[in-house]
Structure 1
């Protein structure tokens, strides 16, 4: 196969994968929100998202070297401090998809390797 044909084939495959991902996101969006988050050398992007209660599809990708250890933590606020009420491990991977049912509140998505970096997930009442 010539380099030109190989390049065309790679472009077509990439387009097909993109179209399939868009269709899957469309189906997931019908059943709930889709939240895309990327972990970079500067932390999570975006740093904060707001969704409605119900099914939330998380699509999280790490651009950092090594195995990520993502965790979604629901937080509860007291008068002066932030306390962790409940922790649910999502998955350990460089890239993951996870569907969670979230009730109103504030959640933090983090990679346990970098506790200072968080993506705040606000679930509206």
Structure 2
């Protein structure tokens, strides 16, 4: 067993420095300026066509102040993209996963391509046909 040190190390002095968490970086070696804007693609599975899911999704997007689009697919799902501040994107994800339109049944929500963006790519939230 090595001998115990004779004195404890001196306490740290100076102001405390808070570093941003690693979760906000794309790599541990690079710090980027954040725009705070995020984009997210989604596809919703279940009984989501013919139940006003697109209308309610567009309304929810406008209510939250996010931009993007929603459309039906030939496979019976609803797909789209949403862009905006991270906290509003999280609210929209929760809504898409758990709420939808009153007559819908959401079996599964798949989110992909989540990424930070420098500017919004759409002027508002719309339904595509």
Q: Which has the larger radius of gyration?
A: 2
Of structures 1 and 2, the one scoring higher in RCO (CA 8 A, sep 6+) is 2
Answer 1 or 2: which has greater strand percent: 1
Q: TM-score, normalised by structure 1?
A: 0.22
